[in-house]
């Protein structure tokens, strides 16, 4: 770097790099180099930033703050505001800490959100509720990023409060972020519902899902004890609507169009695993309630005892009930009833395939439609 400075002493970047290299061992000399870089290019924010770092190291926090303020004023990015926030934290100036972090968040790129949230979370004593202080009302991207961060740290209630800061309708250009945040948060509430014997987590999941549906973040509203999208008219995104899963046969599932609209086609070629969940959805239910489930099915060269069924399961994977599909060449309606165990508030309804013992693997096509679930009188 010395050779570069001798050849081009008018280049501010060389002086800034030299200052950065010398600040640990020779901070006073590094300060002179940084000041010279500022003299050469007083509108370059990185020069002011480097000078601020050296000034803080030398114990001059007031000058360091002034230099960072100059850097923040010259740069349109979020980094100077983050560094001002860190300096404020070191000086015990918490109001300034939150103000600068809020400024940084408003202008930071999406890829920077995890780092910003993580730093704030740890500097604020790992109190997730503090993140709400800096979220910009009505600005979907940072709010969605915060919701994912909070759910990862099991702060589900705080994440739900953060959703209330979202715009009334999710902006179309940020639809993917809104949907991801909504699925993350509904999934967190579903996890809580499976662990709890009380009803609030399940009801909060349902309430949140419907708020997200009203905002356009998820495809359709849900209702207690009812199938969402029983006619397969919406995209499958998971949550409280259909989840396509990862089973081999699922690669052959499609939603029909034209005359085959609102029907799912399962194409079995005999290579599928003997036991698998094809597709499913979570349903919020009342404990000890009895429900009737129906679905329409038709086959094309598929054995009657095919092993296809609609199953109800608890969150731990325990099967409560199964309604086998009796498959023929014409449409048939399958009907069955089951009772929810006590203290269970959410069940998994899944179309499953279990090859019967001694029966060849299923081959041919199966069409499914009109899946419904209703509560029955006790």
Measured CA to CA, the distance from residue 51 to residue 230 in angstroms comes to 64
The per-residue pLDDT for range 297-332, each reduced to its tens digit, is 998 777 555 789 999 999 888 999 999 998 888 899
The per-residue pLDDT for range 266-275, each reduced to its tens digit, is 888 777 788 8
Which CATH code, of 1.25.40.10, 1.10.3480.10, 1.10.510.10, 3.40.50.2000, is assigned to 1-75?
Answer: 1.25.40.10
pLDDT at 248 over 70: no
Fold agreement (1-75, 248-375): no
Q: Which two tokens stand for residue 348?
A: 């998994």
Per-residue pLDDT, averaged over 197-224, amounts to: 92
Closest to 281 in 3D by CA, of 345, 340, 227, 206: 227
Cα 261 from chain centroid (whole Å): 30
Per-residue pLDDT, averaged over 182-200, amounts to: 90
Given a contact cutoff of 8 angstroms between Cβ atoms, the answer to whether 328 and 365 are in contact is no
User: What integer pLDDT is reported at residue 261 of this predicted model?
Assistant: 57
User: What integer pLDDT is reported at residue 17 of this predicted model?
Assistant: 80
Is the sign of the CA dihedral 128, 129, 130, 134 positive or negative?
A: positive
Strand partners, 375: 291
3-state secondary structure the chain: CHHHHHHCCCCHHHHHHHHHHHCCCCHHHHHHHHHHHHHHCCCCHHHHHHHHHHHHHCCCHHHHHHHHHHHHHHCCCCHHHHHHHHHHHHHCCHHHHHHHHHHHHHHCCHHHHHHHHHHHHHHCCCCHHHHHHHCCCCCHHHHHHHHHHHHHCCCHHHHHHHHCCCCCCCCHHHHHHHHHHHHHHHHHHHHHHHHCCCCHHHHHHHHHHHHHHHCCCCCCCCCCCCCCCCCCCCCCCCCCCCECCCCHHHHHCEECCHHHCCCEEEEEECCCCCEEEEEEEEEECCCCCEEEEEEEEEEECCCCCCCEEEEEECCCCCEEEEEECCCCCCCEEEEEEEECCCCCCEEEEEEEEECCCCCCCCEEEEEEEEEEEEECCC
pLDDT at 258 over 70: no
Cβ neighbours around 257 below 10 Å, total = 9
User: What integer pLDDT is reported at residue 216 of this predicted model?
Assistant: 94
User: What integer pLDDT is reported at residue 80 of this predicted model?
Assistant: 83
Given a contact cutoff of 8 angstroms between Cβ atoms, the answer to whether 22 and 14 are in contact is no
248-375 under CATH 2.60.120.260, yes or no: yes
Name, in order, each residue with C-beta under 8 angstroms of 91's C-beta and a sequence gap of 6 or more: 61, 65
Given a contact cutoff of 8 angstroms between Cβ atoms, the answer to whether 131 and 121 are in contact is yes
Measured CA to CA, the distance from residue 267 to residue 256 in angstroms comes to 13
Cβ neighbours around 358 below 10 Å, total = 5
Whether this model's pTM surpasses 0.85: no
Spans of all domains in the chain: 1-75, 135-218, 248-375
Q: Which two tokens stand for residue 55?
A: 């000034």
The per-residue pLDDT for range 102-157, each reduced to its tens digit, is 888 988 999 889 888 998 888 887 788 888 888 999 999 999 999 999 999 999 99
What is the Cα gyration radius of the chain? 29
């Amino acid at each position: 770097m010395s050779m570069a400075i001798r050849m081009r002493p008018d280049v501010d970047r060389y002086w800034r790099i030299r200052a950065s290299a010398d600040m640990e061992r020779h901070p006073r000399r590094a300060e002179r180099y940084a000041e010279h870089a500022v003299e050469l290019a007083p509108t370059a924010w990185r020069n002011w930033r480097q000078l601020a770092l050296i000034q803080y190291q030398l114990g001059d926090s007031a000058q360091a703050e002034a230099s960072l303020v100059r850097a923040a004023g010259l740069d349109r990015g979020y980094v100077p505001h983050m560094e001002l926030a860190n300096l404020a934290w070191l000086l015990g100036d918490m109001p300034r800490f939150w103000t600068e972090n809020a400024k940084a968040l408003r202008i930071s790129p999406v890829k920077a959100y995890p780092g910003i949230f993580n730093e704030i979370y740890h500097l604020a004593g790992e109190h997730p509720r503090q993140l709400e202080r800096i979220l910009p009302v009505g600005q979907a991207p940072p709010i969605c990023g915060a919701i994912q961060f909070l759910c990862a740290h099991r702060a589900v209630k705080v994440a739900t409060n953060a959703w209330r800061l979202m715009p009334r309708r999710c902006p179309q250009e940020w639809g993917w972020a809104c949907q991801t945040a909504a699925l993350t948060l509904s999934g967190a509430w579903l996890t809580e519902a499976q662990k709890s014997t009380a009803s609030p987590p399940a009801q909060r999941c349902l309430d949140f899902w419907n708020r997200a549906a009203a905002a356009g973040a998820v495809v359709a509203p849900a209702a207690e004890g009812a199938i969402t999208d029983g006619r397969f008219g919406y995209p499958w995104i998971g949550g409280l609507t259909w989840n396509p899963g990862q089973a081999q046969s699922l690669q052959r599932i499609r939603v029909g169009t034209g005359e085959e609209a609102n029907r799912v086609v399962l194409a079995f070629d005999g290579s599928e695993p003997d036991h698998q969940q094809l597709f499913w959805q979570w349903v919020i239910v009342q404990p000890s309630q009895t429900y009737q489930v129906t679905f329409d099915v038709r086959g094309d060269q598929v054995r009657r005892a095919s092993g296809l069924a609609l199953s109800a399961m608890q969150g731990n994977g325990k099967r409560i009930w199964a309604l086998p599909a009796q498959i023929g060449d014409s449409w048939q309606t399958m009907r069955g009833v089951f009772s929810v165990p006590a203290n269970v508030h959410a069940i998994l309804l899944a179309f499953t395939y279990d090859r019967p013992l001694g029966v060849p693997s299923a081959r041919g096509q199966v069409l499914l439609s009109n899946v419904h679930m209703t509560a029955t009188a006790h």
